[in-house]
Amino acid sequence: MTALRQDRGATPRRVDVALAGGTGRVGTAFATLLAERAPAVRASGLDLRLVGVARRSRWRWEPHGLPLAAPHDLLGGAPSSGTAEFLARSRAHGSAPLALVDCSASEELACGYAGLLEAGVAVVTPSKLGSAHSQERWNALHALAAGGAAPYRYSATVGAGMPVLSAVRRLRRRGDSLRALRAVLSGSLSAVLCAVQDGAPFSQAVADARERGCTEPHPGDDLSGEDVARKLLILLREAGIGVERADLRVESLVPAGLLRERDPEAFVEALPAFDEAWRARAEAAWSAGRRLAFVAEFDGGRARAEVRALPESDPLASLRPGENRVEILTAEGGAVPLSISGPGAGPEVTAANVLSDLLDAARGAWGARDAGAGRYEAPRERRVASA
C-alpha cells in the first residue's frame, strides 16, 4: 500500500472515481477498503470521491459524490442501463479528473479503455482483458498512457497482491532484459492442485476455491489455463517482449468440450467426472516423490503453461494454497533468479493492489504526463517463437 503522507493545511486534490463491477467480489472489497481508508487518504492530500458505480446492466452517477456505502445498496432502484451508456457518461465527466476502476471481467468495458484514456479518464483495473488481448491493443493503451492522455494501471492482473509487474517494469527501465522466467501464476490452480494432493476430489477442490472467491467469475477460465496464459502475456509484454496468445502452448485441466459450457453452475456440476483422473495423476506424482504445479515458463524464446510434476525440493512445488511465485533470470542478474512470492488470489489482496494503483495515479492527477508509466517503446521485434 502506498504510504499515506500527512499533509496538513493544503486543500486536498479532488479525484473522482467510477467503480465498475462494484457488486462483485473484488469490487465489493475495493469499495469497503476505499470507505475504510478515505479519511487517511484525505488527510494525505487526496479527496477521492465515488461519483459512479456500475454492475452488468445498471449504473448510477452522482457528480457531487455518492456515499461510500456498499455498491449493492447504491444500485438498489437504479434504472436498467447498459455498458455503452456507462462508458459514455464516464467519458463526458468533466468536473474533476476521473478514474474508472474496472473490477469486472467485461470485454465490452475493456474495449472502451482506449476511448476513456483519450477522453482523459484514467483506467485502473485488475481485469486482464485490456492488457492480455492483442499486442496491438496493448501498444495502443500504453502509447496513450505514456503520451500523457491519462494513467493506465493494472498491477493486480498478475499475482493479485504481489509487486510483480512493478519489479519487471523497473528492470526494463534500467535497460536489463528478461532471459527466462518460471512461475506459478494462478492462486486458484495452486489451491486446487494442493487440495487434490492432500486427498480432496478435484471437483470439491474447485468448489472450495470458488467459494473463497479465488477463482475467475467462470472457473473454466482458470481450469482452461487461459487465466495463466493471460498473465504470462502481460508479464512478457511488460518485459518488452512482443507476444500473441497463439505463441503460447497452454495445457487445460479439463477437456475442451466442457470449456464450451458458459454457465458457471453447469460447468461446476460436470467436474466430478474428472475426479478419478486427477486422483490418479496426484498419486503417481506422490509415488515418485513429486508434487503437481501449474507452471508458466519462458525459456529459449518459447513460452508455455502446463501441469508439471516437480521434485518436492523445487520452490514452486512447496507453495501454500493460493500462493504465487515468480522467478526471473535477467541479462544482468547472472544465474540467481529474482524471486517474488506472495498471495496470488483473493478479493481483499486484489482490492488492496487496485487501491495502490489508484493512489499512485491520483497523486499526479495526470497533469501533463503520467509519471508512473514512464517512457513507452513498443516492442521492436517478436521474440517468442510460435507454439
- Taking CB under 6 A as the criterion, the residue among 104, 203, 324, 356 binding ligand NAP is 104
- Taking CB under 6 A as the criterion, the residue among 228, 345, 355, 358 binding ligand NAP is 345
Residue 105 lies near ligand NAP (rule: CB under 6 A): yes
Residue 155 lies near ligand NAP (rule: CB under 6 A): no
Find the helix or strand (DSSP H, E) in which 93 lies: none
Per CB under 6 A, contacts with ligand NAP among 237-266 are none
Neighbours of 249 (CB within 10 A): 15
Residue 176 lies near ligand NAP (rule: CB under 6 A): no
Residue 224 lies near ligand NAP (rule: CB under 6 A): no
Q: Is 148 exposed, middle or buried (0-12, 13-18, 19+ CB in 10 A)?
A: middle
Q: Rounded to an integer, what distance in angstroms lies between the CA atom of residue 14 and that of residue 247?
A: 43
Find the helix or strand (DSSP H, E) in which 296 lies: strand 290-299
Residue 342 lies near ligand NAP (rule: CB under 6 A): no
Q: Rounded to an integer, what distance in angstroms lies between the CA atom of residue 337 and that of residue 50?
A: 42
Residue 148 lies near ligand NAP (rule: CB under 6 A): no
Residue 149 lies near ligand NAP (rule: CB under 6 A): no
- Taking CB under 6 A as the criterion, the residue among 12, 213, 315, 379 binding ligand NAP is 213
Q: Where are the alpha helices (DSSP H) in the chain?
A: 25-43, 71-75, 83-92, 107-111, 113-118, 135-146, 164-173, 187-197, 202-211, 220-223, 226-238, 256-259, 264-269, 275-287, 347-364
Binding mask 11-30 for ligand NAP (x = CB under 6 A): ---------xxxxxxxx---
Q: CB 378 → ligand NAP: shortest distance, Å?
A: 25
- Kindly tell me the sign of the dihedral angle through the C-alpha atoms of 367, 372, 374, 380: negative
Residue 220 lies near ligand NAP (rule: CB under 6 A): no
Binding residues for ligand NAP, per CB under 6 A?
Answer: 20-27, 54-56, 83, 103-106, 108-109, 126-128, 156, 160, 213-214, 216-217, 345-347, 350
